[in-house]
Amino acid sequence: MSASTTVAAPLSTPPLGGPSLPQERRLVTSIPGPRSQELLDRKADAVASGVGHTVPIQAVAAGGGVVVDADGNSLIDLGSGIAVTTLGNAHSKVVAAVQAQVAQFTHTCFMISPYESYVAVAEALNRITPGDHAKKTALFNSGAEAVENAIKVARKYTGKQAVVAFDHAYHGRTNLTMALTAKAMPYKSGFGPFASEIYRAPLSYPYRDGLSGPDAAAKAISLIEKQIGAGNLAAVIIEPIQGEGGFIVPADGFLPTLVEWCRANDVVFIADEVQTGFARTGSMFASEQFGIIPDLITAAKGIAGGLPLAAVTGRAEIMDASHTGGLGGTYGGNPIACAAALAAIDAFENDGLIERANEVGEILTGRLTALQAADPRVGDVRGRGAMVAAEFVHPETKEPDAALTAAVAKACIADGVIVLTCGTYGNVIRFLPPLSIPDALLNEGLDIVASALAAQ
């Protein structure tokens, strides 16, 4: 097949409402091909070097379980653009909702002239987030912005200032969220000074700390009480499963113990579900996996099928603590993004996507666990639903093996499979496939991962 920007003939039955792209891995050039390379050269000249990329292609179409590049290569997508296109790229319900809205009006600014879709998204989030207490929502543009606003709201409500984040945390790249994020390179190095009154507590990391959930929580709580004091603490913020930090699933009892301590000490418990939200973990929100009801939840990534939207949802009395005009932004809750979110939430609730996340998770966990049994360099396989990772180590010492991880990821991409790495030590490959991926394609992607590992 020759290199071309034309994509091949449509499939008659696209999976789960995506565009009609052939669901196949197809390499017609090496990666990057000439057209992709041309774009990467322009990028190097025109785009700030600080904005990196993982997969050296020029994307021209995506849907189901593939991303197609300008050279005609079709890559298996095991990353969903970092857990964003959970529904599948260009999902038909999202496309229709966006097309209808964009022809109606594109912006009024919700703080100037309110419109219905913003309110409907707030109602939907108040309904589908954990807990049946009275809730309210505010909408923003990015995960980092949602996190910033959750902290603002918690400080205003409690009249306190300190905030606790955890080891291996990732909460974004703005100034306050850099302070909350645990990893220096590439997220913080040289970008200080950082916001004050941010403290860091130890996480539960069962593969490495060997502690029970309650014991790990007791360690964190002791540090908080000794070094900060509950009387000064506005909020504890934590990802129920660490995302960028390595898909670390805390031991049973860790999160419930923290929530209970927060309740007893007038501290707002914020679950940062920007990566874990919207069916990804096999429930609508990961908090449900651990039996916790957060005071506030931040959401973004999967919320709107790829359009930029973010939210803070939580207890009405906390969300209402801010004076009018204290929260908002020019674009927050843009009507096109809200239309997309309503379509996406409809699909999450009514098209069997939670069940599908669990099916995808069974395939991922089954295949990766088999790999672990056969190869001691796969130290740990962990996750929930369709959010699963493998941690690579030197078998004798369990020391992180970042070089092996990078080599496996690079080989996968060269062979037409998009995988993402993560982890404080850079030794984790995370799997976040779109739920629209056909089983056969997912299995083929995992075959490539296995052979990439075997070749190292």
Ligand X SMILES: *Cc1c(COP(=O)(O)O)cnc(C)c1O
State the residues that interact with ligand X by CB under 6 A: 142-144, 147, 170-172, 239, 243, 272, 274-275, 300
For the bound state, the minimum distance from the C-beta of residue 329 to ligand X, rounded and expressed in Å, comes to 13
For the record, the structure tokens of 220 come out as 């964190």
Give the nearest distance from C-beta 51 to ligand X in angstroms. Answer: 12
Amino acid at 389: A
| Between 66 and 241, CB nearer to ligand X | 241
Minimum CB distance to ligand X, residue 136 (Å): 21
Question: Smallest gap, in angstroms, from Cβ of residue 172 to ligand X?
Answer: 4
Minimum gap (Å) between residue 219 Cβ and ligand X = 22
> Which class for 212: exposed (0-12), middle (13-18), buried (19 or more C-beta within 10 A)?
middle
d(CA 45, CA 24): 33
Residue 347's closest CA among 13, 97, 108, 156? Answer: 97
User: Which helix H or strand E contains 318, and what residues bound it?
Assistant: helix 316-319
Alpha helices in 211-281 (DSSP H): 213-227, 254-264
SS percent in the chain: helix, strand, coil, step 5: 40, 15, 45
User: How many Å apart are CA 244 and CA 172, to the nearest integer?
Assistant: 10
For residue 452, the surrounding DSSP H or E stretch is helix 439-454
Query: Token digits for 171?
Result: 């909460």
Sequence-separated (6 or more) residues with CB below 8 Å from residue 184: none
Phi then psi dihedrals of residue 349, to 5 deg: -80, -30
Lookup: tokens for 395? 């078998």
Nearer to ligand X, 297 or 347 (CB): 297
For residues 311 and 371, which CB has a smaller minimum distance to ligand X in the complex?
A: 311
CB of 5 to ligand X, least distance (A): 29
- CB of residue 52 vs ligand X: minimum separation in angstroms? 14
Q: How many CB atoms lie within 10 A of CB 181?
A: 24
**Tokens 């991409």 belong to which residue?**
413
Q: Specify the 3-state DSSP secondary structure of 454.
A: helix
* Residue placing its CB nearer to ligand X in the complex, 155 or 171: 171
Closer of 7 and 144 to ligand X (Cβ) = 144
The residue of the chain with the least Cβ separation from ligand X equals: 143
Q: Which is nearer to ligand X, 68 or 274 (CB)?
A: 274
Nearer to ligand X, 73 or 281 (CB): 281
Query: In 10 A of CB 373, how many CB atoms?
Result: 10
Nearer to ligand X, 387 or 437 (CB): 387
User: How far is it, in rounded angstroms, from Cα 183 to Cα 179?
Assistant: 10
CB 180 to ligand X: min, Å: 9
CB of 422 vs ligand X, minimal distance in Å: 10
Q: 284 or 452: whose CB is closer to ligand X?
A: 284
CB-based contacts of 44: which residues, under 8 Å, 6+ apart? none
d(CA 392, CA 160): 41
* Closer to ligand X by Cβ: residue 171 or 384: 171
- Residue with tokens 């056909």, as numbered in its chain: 438
Shortest distance, CB of residue 311 to ligand X, whole angstroms? Answer: 11
